[in-house]
Amino acid sequence: MESSAKPDRTKKIADLNDAFRTRLAGGRVMMTSGVAALSQRTQVEALRAVQAFNAFTPDNDPYGEHDFGSFKVAGNKFFWKIDYFNPSLSHHTDDAANPAITVRVMTIMLAEEY
């Protein structure tokens, strides 16, 4: 891949991730057992925090794809992570910038579960 195409590709992936994360549509959202064990109110607050997240830095977003975040809700530290799979979910996608061949899967977990 040409180096000039890489920033455009990275921006497209970040834009697709942001659209998925903020709308919670266009992919699959998973919660770990630790998050599922929390109150429904805390789960909703965590989902809202994921949707509102915009604190991307070089430390938490080194590749510029907006695929990870960390936040606190109700005294709990959470992580969220987006992974990219092929349509059958059998392996990672060949191109995360191509929504036609990519299913985004976001996992929300307690930091202690990582």
Instruction: Report the 10 Å Cβ neighbour count for 79.
Output: 19
Total number of domains in the chain: 1
* Residue 70 · residue 79 · CB < 8 Å: yes
User: What amino acid occupies position 66?
Assistant: H
Give percent of the chain with pLDDT exceeding 70.
96
pLDDT tens per residue across span 61-90: 999 999 999 999 999 999 999 999 999 999
Quote the domain boundaries for residue 35. 5-113
5/47 Cα distance (integer angstroms) = 33
Give me the pLDDT at residue 15, please.
98
How far apart CA 33 and CA 101 sit, in angstroms, is 29
Question: Greatest CA span in the chain, whole angstroms?
Answer: 48
Q: Which pair of tokens denotes residue 22?
A: 């903020």
DSSP type of residue 112 = G
Task: Give 98-111 pLDDT, tens digit per residue.
Answer: 999 999 999 999 99
Would you state the structure tokens that stand for residue 66, as one six-digit string? Answer: 């907006």
